[in-house]
Amino acid sequence: MQKVWMYEEYGSKEVLKLGDLAIPTPKQYQLLVQVKASALNPIDFKLRQQPIVPIDFPVIPGCDMAGVVVVKGGDVSRFDIGDEVYGNIQDFTAEGKMRQLGTLAEFIVVEENLVAAKPKNVSFEEAASLPLAVQTAVEGFKIVGFREGQTVFVVGGAGGVGTLVVQLAKQMYGASVVAATTSTSKVEFVKSLGADKVVDYNKTRYEEVEEKYDLVYDTIGNFLTPTLLIIAKETSTLKINELQI
């Protein structure tokens, strides 16, 4: 048996309880991972509050984790017992039903293709904080077909996704200009991430930003998802795409 955090009904954080569940057994292409660190994201409390997608109770929250492989299925080829891995274990069926969550547990079973080898120079805690946020940030650039030399304006540059968007834009995607919004106390922090221009939203309203950008990456969005706002310099038209996380 293992200790897990779980809930058996929708509601506020009070529905969470610490309980005992059997340690799962991995199937052919699965790993049993001893969780060393896990992370929570906004999607976790949103799933707990209301039925966003079909899901079976009891639910163990958590998508992100880092840990050590302790058992592997017979057809696993990428990992061995003792390997340190990390990843987002969130998975869906073809019908859109949540297949599994559950990183707030001592052990989890996960498909081997949902995890990667943890870099040696990254701690378990650091690795567990990255998967879902990095996937969200990268997916945004892919959806819009962002190209080297284009410009990007990041709404929420100091947030979990925003900090990664700023760094990816500058260091991976070759943005010529990276601008971002943040609060007064975090202006220097966002600059240190690589932002060329930082807009303090306590001093400047969005309507007062006169420059146009190839991509406005809104990491705040609506209740369910961040929203990508694409502003074409040539036509000044506005298109909205939902970024699924």
pLDDT at 224: 45
User: How do residues 165-220 score in pLDDT, each as one tens digit?
Assistant: 999 999 999 999 999 999 999 999 999 999 999 999 999 988 888 899 999 999 88
CB 87 within 8 A of CB 116: yes
Based on the fold, state whether residues 183 and 199 are members of the same structural domain. Answer: yes
Confidence label for 222 from pLDDT (cuts 50, 70 and 90)? low
pLDDT at 55: 82
Based on the fold, state whether residues 187 and 79 are members of the same structural domain. Answer: no
Q: What is the SS3 string spanning the chain?
A: CEEEEEECCCCCHHHCEEEEECCCCCCCCEEEEEEEEEECCHHHHHHHHCCCCCCCCCECCCCEEEEEEEEECCCCCCCCCCCEEEEECCEECCCCCEEECCCCECEEEEEHHHEEECCCCCCHHHHHCCHHHHHHHHHHHHHHCCCCCCEEEEECCCCHHHHHHHHHHHHCCCCCEEEEEECHHHHHHHHHCCCCEEEECCCCCHHHCCCCCCEEEECCCCCCCCEEEEECCCCCCEEEEECCC
User: How do residues 131-157 score in pLDDT, each as one tens digit?
Assistant: 999 999 999 999 999 999 999 999 999
Instruction: Name the residue with tokens 């529905």.
Output: 15
Based on the fold, state whether residues 29 and 84 are members of the same structural domain. Answer: yes
Question: Which of 95, 129, 163 is the last residue in one of the domains?
Answer: 129
pLDDT mean over 118-128: 96
CB 81 within 8 A of CB 71: yes
Q: What is the distance between the alpha carbons of residues 20 and 144, in angstroms, rounded to a whole number?
A: 44
In Å, how far from its chain's centre is CA 240?
A: 20
CB 84 within 8 A of CB 118: yes
Phi, psi of 162 (to 5 degrees): -60, -40
Instruction: Look at residue 227 and tell me whether its pLDDT is greater than 60.
Output: no
Question: Which of 80, 105, 129 is the last residue in one of the domains?
Answer: 129
pLDDT at 43: 87
Q: What is the distance between the alpha carbons of residues 190 and 96, in angstroms, rounded to a whole number?
A: 36
Q: Which of 109, 92, 74, 91 is nearest to 2 (CA)?
A: 109
pLDDT mean over 215-237: 56
pLDDT at 231: 43
Based on the fold, state whether residues 17 and 115 are members of the same structural domain. Answer: yes
User: How do residues 64-113 score in pLDDT, each as one tens digit?
Assistant: 999 999 999 999 999 999 999 999 998 877 777 777 778 999 999 999 99
pLDDT at 238: 31
Based on the fold, state whether residues 120 and 20 are members of the same structural domain. Answer: yes
Q: What is the CATH number of the domain that holds 136?
A: 3.40.50.720
Number of domains in the chain: 2
Please give the residue range of the domain that contains residue 84: 2-129
pLDDT mean over 233-245: 36
User: How do residues 11-33 score in pLDDT, each as one tens digit?
Assistant: 999 999 999 999 999 999 999 99
